[in-house]
Amino acid sequence: KAIILAGGYATRLLPITQDRPKPLLPVAGRPIIDYILANGSLPDRPIVSTNRRFVSQFEAWRANSGWDIELVVEETTSEEEKLGTVGAMAYLVEKLGIDEDILVIGGDNIFEFAIEDLLSAYHGQPLVALFDLKDLKRVRGRYGVAIVKGDRVVDFQEKPQQPKSTLASTACYVYPKQVLPLISEFYEIAEAGKDAPGYFNEWLLEDKDLQIDPFIFETGWYDIGDRASYIEANQHVGNCDTYTGENAVIEDSTVEGSVILDDVTIKDCEI
């Protein structure tokens, strides 16, 4: 079963996420989530998990896009109430009675590897997709990282200031069905602020003595978390310096290195 998590509130991207969820923001003219769904190897009828605040936007997107997805709504309406990644997984497993292996993907990520390659690397153990940033400075304090020895993950660090690896843990995981009860178990005992997937995977390694396999890829990966990464994704995916949305009007202005959303009017400006 494929699960796309889209229940966050993207406060670091305000104000453009005030009335639009981050997975529906355009990157080179397409919603972020479309890049995930367009990967033809996803299991049939993926689940998209969102929140009560943005459900109408996702319903409109589903109706217009033609994607055959199951939309599930978390009963939250604000950043303070949100479940987080592990909480959202626990909620879905319980609400839907899921009893099969799951592929979990963050709805604000764009991956350029083929999902079929990821699934081919799955051998019944938890599997995490890792992107080698090749620079400790790029990792520091920003990404969870995995330490790999041979063909196994041996440790995780969640956004470390002193990273031991350049392998960024991306928002893409495969968990076998026997791990699903452990998701709720971990969520119930996790300390506040320590319920991110990196902490969960570390707990699986250390407390449950489970093997976790790495899937290391070097094709493109865009983790859209703030304005800089959003602009970067548009530049690279769209192969352009500035992206201009539909019906945008730019008059007597200079615009460089920016993303101009649909129906925006810019006059007498230098951006």
pLDDT > 70: percent of the chain? 96
Extract the runs of DSSP E, i.e. beta strands, from 12-92.
26-27, 30-31, 47-51, 70-74
Domain ranges of the chain: 2-126+171-240, 241-271
pLDDT tens-digit profile of 70-104? 999 999 988 888 888 999 999 999 999 999 999 99
pLDDT tens-digit profile of 146-184? 999 999 999 999 888 999 999 999 999 999 999 999 999
CATH topology for 2-126+171-240?
Spore Coat Polysaccharide Biosynthesis Protein SpsA; Chain A (3.90.550)
Which amino acid is located at 78 in the chain? S
- CA 14 to CA 86: how far, in whole Å? 24
pLDDT tens-digit profile of 5-15? 999 999 999 99
pLDDT band at 43 (very low <50, low <70, confident <90, very high): confident
User: Which residue is it, tokens 């993950």?
Assistant: 153
The predicted pLDDT at position 270 comes to: 76
